[in-house]
Amino acid sequence: MRVLLAEDEPRVAAAIAKGLRRHGAAVDVAPDGADALFHARVHPYDVVVLDRDLPAVHGDEVCRTLHAEQPETKILMLTAARSTDDLVAGLALGADDYLGKPFRFDELVARVHALARRAGAARPAVLRVGDVELDSGRRTVVRGGRELSLSPKEFGVLEALMAADGAVVSLEELLERVWDANVDPFTNSARMTIMKLRRKLGEPGVVETVPGVGYRI
């Protein structure tokens, strides 16, 4: 799951980004509305967590623009304006969800994960391939009745491969979906993650390498 966090308060942004990363998200941070639009036009995001009162380009305009240009990207408007009128106005701009500040972090995480499941093509919360079952809401993976302990990146790679429903996923696509904008495109991180994931999944192997193309389950 890849998330863009548009928040101009550095401490708030750092805390939210750190928490989302602990829950398996790849997070890029934009300190103003102009930077948020730039990031969203360069990288594919499942969810944009958008502070409404942003400098440079107001959050309302960012929301309106993204809704028009990328309707498949889900927007969670995060703001101190908590009234019913504010909520209605935010949703009218194209936001998919609206959460007032202050908020409980576990609620934010739950809402982001729920929106991510709706991003792009609709898919079930629980993915199953053979005897492998992945629950994106509970962040659990079970194979043959045994729960596996996966790192956030391993979980993200497995989720991306299972969601592809048998299609090949390239290394570049995995980097786009599971890592943030700071990742080195020539890194071995994805390959190492797949190697560790295969070890944890055990035999018989379920992650297939398609030479020169990518990976599939």
Distances (CA, A) of 63 to 52, 104, 217: 9, 23, 36
Predicted TM-score (pTM) of this structure: 0.72
Taking only the tens place, the pLDDT of each residue in 6-19 is 999 999 999 999 99
| 88 three-class SS | helix
Query: What's the pLDDT score for residue 123?
Result: 63
Mean pLDDT of all residues in 132-155: 91
Domain residue ranges of the chain, discontinuous segments joined by +:
2-118, 126-216
CATH topology of domain 126-216: Arc Repressor Mutant, subunit A (1.10.10)
The confidence band for 120, taking pLDDT boundaries of 50, 70 and 90, is: low
CATH class of 2-118: alpha beta
Question: Mean pLDDT over residues 190-217, rounded?
Answer: 92
CA dihedral in degrees (101, 105, 111, 115; nearest 10)? 100
- Residue of 110, 105, 74, 104 whose CA lies nearest to 91: 74
Higher pLDDT, 176 or 26: 26
How far apart are alpha carbons 190 and 172 in whole angstroms?
9
Q: Which of 44-53, 120-129, 142-151 has the lowest mean pLDDT?
A: 120-129
